[in-house]
Amino acid sequence: MNRFRADASAEREVLFEDAIEAHRARESPYCTFEADAEVEDDAEEPAWIQFGESVLNLDCTDEELDRLKGLLEEFPAFTIEELNSPENAQGTNVRISAYADEERVATFVERCFREVYGQPDGYAAWAIEV
């Protein structure tokens, strides 16, 4: 992989797909994507999504979790496996099984950043770990 940032929708999906392919080829524990743009509700941390061994891992507020559940209705091969809400956390960690090819996972990641986390059209996505 020689490109780690993209800021157009089609380019971001290719970035996600390439990073997932590289992650699988390297047999790394996971790959991590991060959005570098204005975040919804003035959150301090940027939105991020990890993928490893057919599992997506992300943190959500209650509102984001509701939107995530709606998005998952369009992806029948993706299922919430675990919700974890520690007492000292302000949200929920979500683990989603995603038995799909790189292209389908990449499409889901892009839609998740846009529809769940409310990122604008031109947000920049980074593959920060592969």
Q: What is the pLDDT of residues 38-91, one digit of tens each?
A: 545 555 678 999 999 899 999 999 999 999 999 999 999 999 999 999 888 789
- Collapse the DSSP code of 6 into the 3-class scheme (helix H, G, I; strand E, B; otherwise coil) and give the result: strand
Task: Report how far apart the first and last C-alpha atoms of the chain are (Å, whole number).
Answer: 9
pTM of the predicted protein model: 0.90
**Domain residues of the chain, as ranges?**
5-129
Average pLDDT for the chain: 91
The strand pairing partners of 95, in sequence order, are 57, 82
Question: Which residues partner with 98 through β-bridges?
Answer: 78
pLDDT in tens, 106-115: 999 999 999 9
Give yes or no for residue 3 having a pLDDT over 60: yes
Return the bridge partners of 7, or none: none
DSSP 45: S
Distance of CA 121 to the CA centre of its chain: 16
Q: Confidence band (pLDDT; 50, 70, 90) for 2?
A: low
Rg (CA), the chain: 14
Backbone phi, psi, residue 119, to 5°:
-70, 145
**pLDDT score of 41:** 52
What is the average pLDDT across 16-37? 92
Q: Would you state the pLDDT for residue 37?
A: 60
Q: Sign of the CA dihedral 64, 116, 12, 42?
A: negative
For residues 28 and 42, give the distance between their C-alpha atoms in angstroms, rounded to a whole number: 32
